[in-house]
Amino acid sequence: MNKAIIVTALVAGPVLWGVVAGLSKPAKMRNAFVILGSFFTIIAGLLALKGGRFTFSPGPWEAGLSFALELATILAILGVAIRIRSRPILYLAALQLAVALAGHIIGTGTGGVLEPVFILDALSMVLVLVISLVGPVIVLFAIGYMEQHAHHAPPTAAGERRFFFIMLAFLGAMNGLVLANSLQWLASFWEITTLCSFFLIGYDGTDESRANAQRALLINTFGGLALTVGSFWCITHGTDTLTGLKAAQLVIPMAFLCLAALTKSAQVPFQSWLLGAMVAPTPVSALLHSATMVKAGSYLVLRLAPAFRGTDLMVVLALTGAFTFAAASFLAIVQSNAKKVLAYSTISNLGLIVACAGIDSPLAYAAAVMILIYHAVSKGLLFLCVGTIEQSIGSRDIEDMGGIMYKMPFTTVVALLGMVSMLLPPFGMLLSKWMAIEASINMPVVMFLIVVGSAFSVLFWAKWLGRIQTVSFHPRYTLEPLSPFMRASLFILAVGVLVLGFGSIILYRDILRPMVTGIFQRIPVGVSEWSIFRADSEFAFWPFIVIPGVFLILAIISSLRIRREQVRLPYLAGENVDMKDWSVDGDVLSYSFRTFRDRFEPAWSSSQYMRSSVNEAKIVPWLNMVAFLLILAMFGKIHLL
């Protein structure tokens, strides 16, 4: 297979399909093009998998092209900044432009060393597969979702044509980002994703969404500036590629690139743009959180980390990530807004990836890649479920989600699956958290933060799980009506979660371990670092499958044997409203009790959000402060301050 075709198909393919879809006015035609584009992206991803690893340099003309692209994107950001009248963004973008131009002019050249421009190695392959398999499914979901969304979208909303164009272009840019080895290409794609997210977040055009889009652009432009400064440093020190940077062990640009990655991955203190991004239509959130955007940051850290093993930079990076993990998990406890819980959970998981990259161990590295994969699939699924639920019940508050098991059993079961996969065995998140904890044994503070963060994340998932499956007894359930696109994409992702879940140990043993060994091959790896974790050789994984499996079957049998006569109302000190009322309205009346004057009051207890003892608005500035100090420490450690 020709390398050029694969790279073009992965990067330019989705963008071109997006252009075609964006140009077609009739909705049916546009949908057809979007479907074709999605399938094209999936096929391109599979082709890349089949083609295997390669390095690819198109020719001398690529440098000019990438420089032009970088300048164009920075100019576009400048234009946007002028249009939305935001001085900070304008200054940042102008500075970025100056640095980029300066780098191009005074760059010392690579000294004759030719590094490949695009690399598809194991890590890029994982990312390409995540982007081009999960991403298109979300785009497919968006077709069904946006039809509904159009009914109650504000009049200011940008058209669906632009929406689908940007969604597809986003996938292409992400593919380019993970393939690029040249820093110039990396920076151009980096800025394109920033722009795409800006337009998608501001899609609805309301005041809130515009403000949040602007904040996202500001923070990500700051990250872009850090990236440009990093590549400026590289160019003036004789390399313009990631591989060159790794080989030369340039610590200072590495720190700048990590800073850029932290902003992109919405790590504390840069988390606010991702939280604000939830004003966008749900498929956008799903795309930003699972397959694209935030994964770019963690990808960059993962790409560079093995080369900087043992430096102080990595220690601080691990601390920053672990701190984000614990802090975001903690903040998720006090949220009752489902999308916000998901957003904090994303931030915390990305923090864990960064922490794992910083922990000086191949085991942790494998854990990080594993989290990246599982998080993409599960989180994409969960966002799509929340979107579906929100369109049905008109609320995204977790407390309103009681009883949806009966109203929309399909979505609820799929959402349950997604949540369980973030929490329980045999799904991969647990396995990777376990690996992370065992790998961090030599860094007590990091380990403590990971342990605390895991405990918090159990807490907020358990609360949500408990609420979502609160249900009365119903003899039979009927599937809810759902747009075929939405049902199909939910189904595909659910199957993906299941397959990946049951294959987690195989994935670790047969794919991730060889891959990580390959990445770490030039650095001496102690045998003990792998042998802490004995999951692949001695781990008795089967009790986790067999015993719960057997009991699951028993539970299903015995729950099917339940007869109507065995069903009772909850204990409410005998003051229940009579049984005969509940067949009329199975949800409200039967759980009411009589108060004085025979009034009916619903028996209700909310989940615990600890709002009396935790004030989010007061805590967040302190957390930001600590994280900011950690980042300062990162630059202090490399003697830049």
Quote the DSSP letter at residue 442.
G
Quote the DSSP letter at residue 469.
T
Q: Is 576 in the site for another protein (CB under 8 A)?
A: yes
Question: Nearer Cβ to another protein, position 256 or 508?
Answer: 508
Asked if 139 contacts 179 with a C-beta cutoff of 8 angstroms, the reply is no
* Least distance in angstroms from the C-beta of 36 to another protein: 41
* Least distance in angstroms from the C-beta of 362 to another protein: 17
Among 112, 152, 571, 597, the residue binding another protein under the rule CB under 8 A is 571
CA distances from residue 343 to 13, 292, 350 in whole angstroms, order as listed? 30, 14, 11
Q: Is 544 in the site for another protein (CB under 8 A)?
A: yes
* Least distance in angstroms from the C-beta of 275 to another protein: 24
Query: Quick one: three-class SS letters along 231-267?
Result: HHHHHHCCCCEHHHHHHHCCHHHHHHHHHHHHHHCCC
Q: Which residues contact 394 (CB under 8 A, 6 or more apart)?
A: none
- Which amino acid makes up residue 448? F
Asked if 198 contacts 80 with a C-beta cutoff of 8 angstroms, the reply is yes
Asked if 204 contacts 157 with a C-beta cutoff of 8 angstroms, the reply is yes
Q: Is 471 in the site for another protein (CB under 8 A)?
A: yes
Q: How many CB atoms lie within 10 A of CB 611?
A: 12
- Which amino acid makes up residue 294? V
Q: Is 591 in the site for another protein (CB under 8 A)?
A: yes
Question: Nearer Cβ to another protein, position 27 or 452?
Answer: 452
* Least distance in angstroms from the C-beta of 428 to another protein: 13
b/e string for 266-288 if b means 16 or more Cβ within 10 A?
bbbbbbbbbbbbbbbbbbbbbbb
* Least distance in angstroms from the C-beta of 289 to another protein: 24
Q: Is 36 in the site for another protein (CB under 8 A)?
A: no
- Per CB under 8 A, contacts with another protein among 351-370 are none
Q: How far apart are CA 49 and CA 498, in angstroms?
A: 21
Quote the DSSP letter at residue 118.
E
- Per CB under 8 A, contacts with another protein among 380-419 are 402, 405
Asked if 96 contacts 224 with a C-beta cutoff of 8 angstroms, the reply is yes
SS3 state of residue 600? strand
Q: Is 585 in the site for another protein (CB under 8 A)?
A: no
* Least distance in angstroms from the C-beta of 549 to another protein: 8
Asked if 416 contacts 516 with a C-beta cutoff of 8 angstroms, the reply is no
Q: Is 615 in the site for another protein (CB under 8 A)?
A: no
First to last CA, the chain: 49
Q: In 396-427, which residue ranges form alpha helices assigned H by DSSP?
A: 404-407, 409-423
The continuous run of DSSP H or E covering 601 comes out as strand 600-602
b/e string for 398-426 if b means 16 or more Cβ within 10 A?
bebbbbbbbbbbbbbbbbbbbbbbbbbbb
Q: Is 5 in the site for another protein (CB under 8 A)?
A: no
Whose CA is closest to 429, among 530, 514, 359, 501? 501
Among 252, 424, 505, 638, the residue binding another protein under the rule CB under 8 A is 424
Q: Is 472 in the site for another protein (CB under 8 A)?
A: yes
The number of residues that bind another protein (CB under 8 A) is 67
Structure tokens at 114: 């030719």
Question: Nearer Cβ to another protein, position 59 or 543?
Answer: 543
Of the ranges 45-53, 244-252, 253-261, 436-444, which one interacts with another protein (CB under 8 A)?
436-444
* Least distance in angstroms from the C-beta of 612 to another protein: 10
Q: How far apart are CA 282 and CA 182, in angstroms?
A: 33
Asked if 243 contacts 115 with a C-beta cutoff of 8 angstroms, the reply is yes
- Per CB under 8 A, contacts with another protein among 438-467 are 438, 441, 444, 447, 451-452, 455, 458-459, 462-463, 465-467
- Per CB under 8 A, contacts with another protein among 257-286 are none
Query: Quick one: three-class SS letters along 92-145?
Result: HHHHHHHHHHHHHHHCCCCCCCCCCCEEECHHHHHHHHHHHHHHHHHHHHHHHH
* Least distance in angstroms from the C-beta of 409 to another protein: 12
- 294-304 and 338-358 helices cross at what angle (nearest 10)? 10
- Per CB under 8 A, contacts with another protein among 185-244 are none
Question: Nearer Cβ to another protein, position 83 or 561?
Answer: 561
Among 60, 112, 526, 574, the residue binding another protein under the rule CB under 8 A is 574
Q: Is 555 in the site for another protein (CB under 8 A)?
A: yes
Q: Is 550 in the site for another protein (CB under 8 A)?
A: yes
Question: Nearer Cβ to another protein, position 25 or 564?
Answer: 564
Quote the DSSP letter at residue 400.
G
* Least distance in angstroms from the C-beta of 603 to another protein: 5
Q: In 24-121, which residue ranges form alpha helices assigned H by DSSP?
A: 27-51, 61-83, 87-106
Question: Nearer Cβ to another protein, position 75 or 562?
Answer: 562
- 484-502 and 409-423 helices cross at what angle (nearest 10)? 30
Of the ranges 31-39, 185-193, 231-239, 551-559, which one interacts with another protein (CB under 8 A)?
551-559
CA distances from residue 314 to 73, 310, 446 in whole angstroms, order as listed? 31, 7, 12
* Least distance in angstroms from the C-beta of 452 to another protein: 7
Q: Is 596 in the site for another protein (CB under 8 A)?
A: no
Q: Is 567 in the site for another protein (CB under 8 A)?
A: yes
Among 58, 409, 503, 548, the residue binding another protein under the rule CB under 8 A is 548
Q: Is 469 in the site for another protein (CB under 8 A)?
A: yes
- Per CB under 8 A, contacts with another protein among 305-344 are none
Question: Nearer Cβ to another protein, position 106 or 462?
Answer: 462
* Least distance in angstroms from the C-beta of 461 to another protein: 9
* Least distance in angstroms from the C-beta of 40 to another protein: 41
Question: Nearer Cβ to another protein, position 437 or 525?
Answer: 437
Whose CA is closest to 302, among 127, 500, 525, 66? 127
Q: In 311-427, which residue ranges form alpha helices assigned H by DSSP?
A: 312-333, 338-358, 362-393, 404-407, 409-423
Site string for another protein, 498-537 (x = CB under 8 A): ----------------------------------x-xx--
* Least distance in angstroms from the C-beta of 415 to another protein: 14
Question: Nearer Cβ to another protein, position 280 or 535?
Answer: 535
Residues found near another protein in the complex (CB under 8 A)? 402, 405, 423-425, 430, 434, 437-438, 441, 444, 447, 451-452, 455, 458-459, 462-463, 465-467, 469-474, 532, 534-535, 538-540, 543-544, 547-548, 550-552, 554-556, 558-560, 562, 566-576, 578-579, 591, 603-605, 607-608
